[in-house]
Amino acid sequence: MNLSKKFEELIIKQLESFGCSMGVTHLVMYLASANGGTKASFEMIGQWPKIDRFLMSIEDDPSLKVSSPNRRWYPLQENDILLGVLRVETDLKGGNWPVILDSRLKALSISLAKCVSIELERQNKNKEINYLKNQVNVIIHQLRNPLAAIRTYAKLLIKRLGSDDDSIEIVERMIIEQKQINQYMDSFAQFNSPIQLPLEIGEERLLLPPNLDNKKVITVQSLLRPILERGKANADLENRDWTEPSLWPDWSISPLKGKYAVIAEIVANLLENAFKYAQKDAEIGLAITSNGLCIFDDGKKITKIENEKIFEKGFRGSAAKKKEGTGVGLFLARRLAKQIGGDLRLLENNSIVNNEKSINLKKKNIFYLELPIKELHA
């Protein structure tokens, strides 16, 4: 077992904290080990007090061949698995061990067993992570070539289409989507680099939009444009009505601070839900106000009972029962909205106050993404 330095230091601290207690003169911890089906042995990994002697296994220490009333062994056990043993030496006369000493040593052995169990679990998780990282690298490498081929074939198709502008526009959008997939590949490729996880973001964090160029000026409009184009294409494919802003207020076209790029994640999540759960003939779209964004659909209205529950992690509304999903989309969207100083809620009365003016969208389901407008801009 390849032990981490932190684990070894923890074990030594545990043994030191018990030392010089009620006649205890020596504490030694051994870990069970067996390689390739060989007979199990117990290797010494820590002791108190520290003395200059070679760390020997139980089998190789001749002094342990003879029993002693001043020595006891305590198993380090997790369920039915023997992980190791704790050897205790005392200067007690006649081997009279106080009950309280025995109880404390049993508690110490349980604590040490937990430490070993956690260390083993950590090592197994690291092996799994390294394996997955290698698999991701292989997949990324294999995807690069077909993605490049798609772009090549798309460009050839544009040449053959000649003056068919409508068809050319569709193919050009395919090229944009191919470029977006390449950006996702770049994000996956970063998994083998050290990752600093922001504490306020959970494990469900999406990769959209990936790898934003810090030197590139971004706006709310530029972030949402590819998402809206994708939405329009989905609506055309499903023969449903699609609505998006024709006029963009100043706050949506002004340079945006990088941390507010998560607005795109929130909108993409909400639109994905709308296309997934709204009836096939229901209108879907996005409206923009002076204080935020409204993502709506004109499908079956979400009930008042589910109004708040749909934002709970893992909850799936009645419209989602027979469809795939994890129930984290709206939970994540609201979490990200609050993280940037905004909020996300489902409007109950289909209207919203916009600069002290009430706007009535008259849609069945309207998710209002309120934004900290004054804080958005660089």
How far is it, in rounded angstroms, from Cα 194 to Cα 111?
Answer: 32
**What is the overall mean pLDDT for the chain?**
82
The total of other beta-carbon atoms located within 10 Å of residue 268's CB is: 22
pLDDT in tens, 200-216: 444 444 434 444 455 67
Is there a common fold for 5-127 and 197-375? no
pLDDT in tens, 52-84: 555 566 777 767 777 788 889 999 998 888 899
pLDDT in tens, 360-370: 678 889 999 99
Answer with the residue of higher pLDDT: 358 or 5. 5
DSSP state of 256: B
Q: Is the pLDDT of residue 294 over 90?
A: yes
pLDDT in tens, 148-204: 888 888 888 988 888 888 888 888 888 888 887 887 777 777 766 665 544 444 444
String of DSSP letters for 313-335:
TT---GGGTTS---S-HHHHHHH
Give the pLDDT confidence score for residue 249 in this predicted structure: 92
| Contact yes or no for 367/295 (Cβ under 8 A) | yes
Give the pLDDT confidence score for residue 267 in this predicted structure: 93
Give the pLDDT confidence score for residue 206 in this predicted structure: 43
Give the pLDDT confidence score for residue 199 in this predicted structure: 43
Give the pLDDT confidence score for residue 210 in this predicted structure: 41
Residue 210: asked if its preceding bond is cis (omega within 30°), the reply is no
Give the CATH architecture of domain 5-127.
Answer: 2-Layer Sandwich (3.30)
Single pTM value for the model: 0.56
pLDDT in tens, 18-33: 876 788 888 999 998 7
Structure tokens at 323: 């469809």
Q: Which of these, 45, 44, 83, 36, lies nearest to 63 by C-alpha position?
A: 44
Give the pLDDT confidence score for residue 209 in this predicted structure: 44
Evaluate whether the domain defined by 197-375 bears CATH number 3.30.565.10.
yes
Q: Is the pLDDT of residue 348 over 60?
A: yes
pLDDT in tens, 253-290: 999 988 898 899 899 889 988 998 888 889 999 999 88
Percentage with pLDDT > 90 across the chain: 26
Answer with the residue of higher pLDDT: 170 or 378. 170
- Specify the 3-state DSSP secondary structure of 353: strand
